[in-house]
Structure 1
Amino acid sequence: MLMAAAVPLVAWRVQQNAHAAPLQWQGLAMGAPASVILHHGGDTTRAQAALTATLAEVNRLEAMFSLFRADSLISELNRSGRLKDAPPEFVSLLGTALAMAAASKGVFDPSIQPLWRLYFEHFVTGANTAPPAANQVAQARALVGWQGVQITGSQVRLARPGMALSLNGVAQGFITDRCSTVLRSHGFSHMLVDMGEPRAVAPKPDGSAWQIGLADPREPNRAIHTLSVLDQAVATSGGYGTRLDDAGLYTHLINARTGRTAPAYESVTVVAPTATQGDALSTALALIPSTDVSARLALLRTQPGCRAICINHAGQVSELS
């Protein structure tokens, strides 16, 4: 009688647990929906411990970067204009944001907060329907300028009174990357981590790619396109995410050079090696006017390993190339 070749015990265990239900978590990070899908091969105890450590990391980083928290480091910096002993993560992420500001020629700018505050207070707090006056925009723009953000060792200083930072254009991606690192340090390798921007780490246990849907800017609850992703991050920026007026003409995306908000009902998605890189690049690309294709291409080419997918007002999907 023919005997089947013996399957090594370790391989048998992997096969046996390949279809174990993954650990799934949903919550909030930086005020936005967040989730983790973690394939653990049946070791739920270790997976729960890894998730607990991951959520602790989210809390630690929110204490640095969240503008929703009055006690965060970025809120302290915006109040006082200086941080004397900023943690390495804060300095690193701010450096990444400043590098994108330079590469985008100031379209992306972490010192955008005075303009954002103007638009938010005007439309949301003030319940206005007409845009802010030109002189108000000019006054806020005078406080914006990434060259005035100074990093010396662990000290961060804002050059002019009234300057203020927002790292919302890159922090969610950074937190996604940090959480992925925490989970990998616990021995896991098959996961989809989304702290505002998703990152697929390794394939699924069966070898297949992760499927990530891109929202239709006209109907954000509907996917208009699907990406197959392996060991990459996907970051999307679009004005539809936060509309400040009923018509959607003014959004949370603001061009620092002009003071105008980016066009609504349009999105730019970047597939990148890391969520940090994708987050910053998608924000910058979304802020460049859709008619200036050459500027978008020039910026994209400064970021190795990245590609960009654009969705226009009519819902047409195209790759920037």
Structure 2
Amino acid sequence: MQRRLSRRRVLAIAAVAAGLPLPGAVEEAPDAPLITWTGQVLGAVGSISLRHPDPATAERIVARSVAELHRLEAMFSLYRPDSLLVELNRRGVLAAPPPEMRQILDAALHVASLTGGVFDPTVQPVWHLYCAHFTRREADPAGPPPAAVAEALDRVGHRYLRVGPDSILFARRGMAVTLNGIAQGYITDRVVDLLREEGIGHTLVDMGEARALGTQSAVRPWRAALADPVGPERPWKTLDLVDRALASSGDDGFVFDVTGRFTHLLDPRTGLSPRRYRAVSVLAPEATTADALSTAFALLPEDMIASTLVGLPTVEAHLLRHDGSEVALRGG
């Protein structure tokens, strides 16, 4: 099975001169020193960049932020045997869940409703099937047998995930949840909330999905350069981030087979990877929403993306087609 660790990443985050101060820019804070932390978060490289006039205070704030992201990662990881998510998948029920687990699953179910179930956190049984199939020696390159796919899909369905104040449970046997399409965005938002509480007005938090508060400086917004999977050294688009979040999905990030036919973007309705676009990026006010929608939009045709955006006036979708052309769809 082929693995690539650079999945779902914007190519770079950088400052860009804008010529004049941006509306709402705070005059004193953008000139303070820029402090940046980098480290591993949910299997990807994350970063926190902020401006603060006192380096000691900045270090304390960053340390608190890092402790928070690791606390949340310990809940949401699929690969830590002691995580709450692993416990839920193992037992089918989680008693007295912490508010963060309820919040992230409620957010996932909301996006599932928005997208007609195309974003579905219960797709994990299909992932398990493909992983087990392609890690076997001499695996059939055509993928798992159709009957096995159908059996896995029978254990998928966000309608059977029950989230309540006292418990989280599966209404069907054999279900399992993944938060891989939303956890990075949720953690990004929680770190941003913490920084805002600390009085930080100019920061960029990138946990695989990025969110900016304010600007990089009085004359520069934060700017994201979006990677083209065909040529990662050549961005296909740049987007300004001022009080907005950005999430990107690409179908080349994790592939199960050497031909790249089956990817981490699995349609919970069919169990297949449609590979509709080279890359998808979503701008939204919060990273949780941007993260989940970028996953769903990678599986949807353009007309259905446009229909979904009708009720989301603050959201934009930027699509890179396989022929190299691009389209921007905006909510309204």
**Taking structure 2 as the reference length, what is the TM-score of the superposition?**
0.87
Q: Is the 8 A contact 1:218 1:265 kept in 2?
A: no
**Between 165-174 and 125-134, the greater mean CA deviation after superposition:** 125-134
2:307 aligned with 1:298: yes
Aligned mates of 1:126, 1:101 — CA distance in 2: 35
CA-CA distance at 1:24 after TM superposition: 1.1
Task: Report SS of the residue matched to 1:259.
Answer: coil
Query: What is the aligned counterpart of 1:316 among 287, 308, 325?
Result: 325
Aligned mates of 1:200, 1:123 — CA distance in 2: 39
Aligned length: 304
Which whole-Å deviations, capped at 9, do the CAs of 1:35-94 have from their partners, x for residues lacking one? 1111113x1101100111011111111111110111111100000000011111110110
Higher relative contact order (CA closer than 8 Å, sequence separation 6+): 2
2:122 aligned with 1:111: yes
Aligned mates of 2:35, 2:29 — CA distance in 1: 13
CA-CA distance at 1:256 after TM superposition: 0.3
Larger radius of gyration: 1
Shift in CA distance, 84/314, structure 1 to aligned 2, threshold 3 Å:
same
Query: What is the aligned counterpart of 1:241 among 247, 253, 257?
Result: 253
Query: What is the aligned counterpart of 1:193 among 197, 200, 205?
Result: 205
Shift in CA distance, 17/93, structure 1 to aligned 2, threshold 3 Å:
closer
Where structure 2 has 5 or more consecutive residues not aligned to the other structure, the ranges are 1-25
The residue type equivalent to 1:52 in the other structure is: A
**Taking structure 1 as the reference length, what is the TM-score of the superposition?**
0.90
- Aligned residues with identical type, % of pairs: 42
Alignment correspondent of 2:218: 206
2:273 aligned with 1:273: no
Alignment correspondent of 1:4: none
Aligned mates of 1:166, 1:97 — CA distance in 2: 10
Where structure 1 has 5 or more consecutive residues not aligned to the other structure, the ranges are 1-13
Shift in CA distance, 20/57, structure 1 to aligned 2, threshold 3 Å:
same
Aligned mates of 2:212, 2:72 — CA distance in 1: 21
Instruction: Give the structure with the higher percent helix.
Output: 1
Which whole-Å deviations, capped at 9, do the CAs of 1:124-143 have from their partners, x for residues lacking one? 45563331111111111011
Shift in CA distance, 239/126, structure 1 to aligned 2, threshold 3 Å:
farther
Alignment correspondent of 1:68: 79
Aligned mates of 2:85, 2:159 — CA distance in 1: 18
* Matched ranges for 1:117-132 at <5 A: 117-124=128-135, 126=137, 128=139, 129-132=141-144
Aligned mates of 1:146, 1:216 — CA distance in 2: 32
2:263 aligned with 1:254: no
Which whole-Å deviations, capped at 9, do the CAs of 1:231-265 have from their partners, x for residues lacking one? 10011112111122222211101100111113176
